[in-house]
Chains A and B, each alone.
Chain A
């Protein structure tokens, strides 16, 4: 736990002095204005919740791919990865701590979206089931941390992985139902969304904003957490394999 907390603390120290890494927060207003403009112009108050959730979850994903997934690659560039490999402490909790710190920042877009909606359009969705909403948010942050670890390790495996990471953003937005609810997607795509935790997050959070009772909240939360755990375990195993491979091949640094 100490290693995890040390990693988180270090990441906060680093981010504080890298304000440019918070650029994701600057992209949120554009998404908010675009989506709320459409909804308001179309006079569809029933879609306000969707317009609020999309920037929130896109922001969470943005922090994951834009900052958290870069942690290990950055370590490799600065040669701190090899120093870490020679240290007695396990690297996995340290990097997970750093990634989790980033994902906590990923909650900021939620407040930003609500604030902008209120200030610019005078609207904000009512959260009818706040416990479900916040539980879903917490589970999503956890799952995103696990997913980010997996992405971060994947980034280590290829020098061009940044291109792939940039590419998968939009498919993820689509398949997760962040922009458009999954049930409106072509049927053959819908099964794919079940393995993306964001689709469960988006659906559950959307339901928590509606007045109707939320059906199966516990199971749906479990699905989010379960997919997060799967990613976390996958990331942990892949990290161990990657470091072992780096030790064997001598690819710890880019030099």
Chain B
């Protein structure tokens, strides 16, 4: 097991001073999570759900308030030094980078902090710069890079210590679609190399595409852990039927609602039987472009987390 978290709680105190005595805020509330080796595991949840706090505890940046967390068999408190040798963290966005260093200098600095001997540091730096397509820009300042290139520097930095577990904290934030696609391919490669990957994201398509399993977190608690498809199927959510038609299907039993987008009719039904009835009706009326759609991860997310809009 790469990650074993049991009844993990993390609280924070508001206020100032060496020991703040203000209101207590609970970020993780008895969270339990198991991630086996070689799995790509997604952590999904709204802002403030506790995803980043969990990542910080697993990477030994934060201490837990209660409960236990083990990474690669080591406790995050008593075995922190051992964990740090085998865990890489990758942030999204601008944080965590030195704009005034080149990509090569950035990696050399972090290689030293990962205790790589000089020769190994040079070798690993060159290999990662090449692997991530940064070799031509290796001696350019990071501040001159595009968002996608900065993200690749983040990735290279996270991989410098050859980690067994990689924690990605919203890694595709601000990436263009091409860079995001490349990133997803890299995740698959890393998993195939035998690494375990824990990734926090708001991008449901990304989670659906790259994650073996996902965990939905809200208010510091686990709502569900399953494969993306399994989560959708066990959710009992509405089935959708999509068809290129203008026919009226609202009278069919089990139809909850309809919407039309770009000439595509989407019919929301209560269950598989109602979806079948809609399909039969449309086919009987000569509609040929028609198919049933299982609920997507995004639908499950919205159903379980709630449609909060901007609320956090």
Contact = CB atoms under 8 A, between A and B. Distances in A.
Interface of A: 2-3, 6, 10, 13-14, 17-18, 78-80, 82-89, 94, 245, 247-250, 252
Top 5 nearest A-B pairs by Cβ distance? A6-B112, A79-B95, A87-B113, A89-B113, A88-B84
Nearest to B101: A13
- Most chain B beta-carbon neighbours within 10 Å: one of A83, A85, A252: A83
B101 A2 contact: no
12 contacts: A2-B118, A13-B100, A13-B105, A14-B98, A14-B100, A78-B97, A83-B89, A88-B85, A247-B60, A247-B63, A250-B53, A250-B62
A250 B56 CA distance: 9
B113 A3 contact: yes
Interface string B73-114: 000000001001101010100011110110001001110111
A247 B101 CA distance: 27
Interface in B35-57: 53, 56
Contacts of B62: 247, 250, 252
A253 B45 CA distance: 22
A79 B96 contact: yes
Contacts of B110: 83, 87
A84 B81 CA distance: 13
Nearest to A15: B100
Nearest to B65: A248
A86 B89 contact: yes
B96 A78 contact: yes
Nearest to A250: B12
A88 B109 contact: no
Given A82-B56, A83-B89, A249-B20, A89 B112 contact: yes
A80 B61 contact: no
Contacts of A82: 56, 61, 96
Nearest to B158: A83
B288 interface: no
Contacts of B157: 83
Given A86-B87, A89-B112, A247 B97 contact: no
Contact of A83 (B85, B96, B112, B115): B96
Interface of B: 10, 12-13, 18, 20, 27, 53, 56, 59-63, 81, 84-85, 87, 89, 91, 95-98, 100-101, 105, 108-110, 112-115, 118, 141, 157, 161
A89 B27 CA distance: 28
Given A83-B96, A88-B113, A17 B61 contact: no
Given A3-B113, A6-B109, A79-B91, A86 B60 contact: yes
Contact of B113 (A6, A249, A250, A252): A6
B109 to A, nearest CB: 5
Given A17-B141, A79-B96, A80-B96, A88 B115 contact: yes
A89 B12 contact: no
Contact of A10 (B89, B101, B114): B101
A249 B56 CA distance: 12
Contacts of A80: 96-98
Contacts of B12: 249-250
Contacts of B27: 250
A87 B18 CA distance: 25
A89 B61 contact: no
Nearest to B118: A2
A88 B97 contact: no
A250 B50 CA distance: 13
Nearest to A74: B98
Nearest to B58: A86
B105 A87 contact: no
A18 B95 contact: no
B98 A86 contact: no
Contact of A252 (B18, B61, B108): B61
A36 to B, nearest CB: 36
A3 to B, nearest CB: 6
B87 A89 contact: no
Contact of B59 (A17, A86, A94): A86
Contact of A17 (B89, B91, B100, B109): B100
A243 B61 CA distance: 9
B139 to A, nearest CB: 11
Given A6-B109, A250-B62, A18 B100 contact: yes
Contacts of B114: 87-89
Contacts of B98: 10, 14, 78, 80
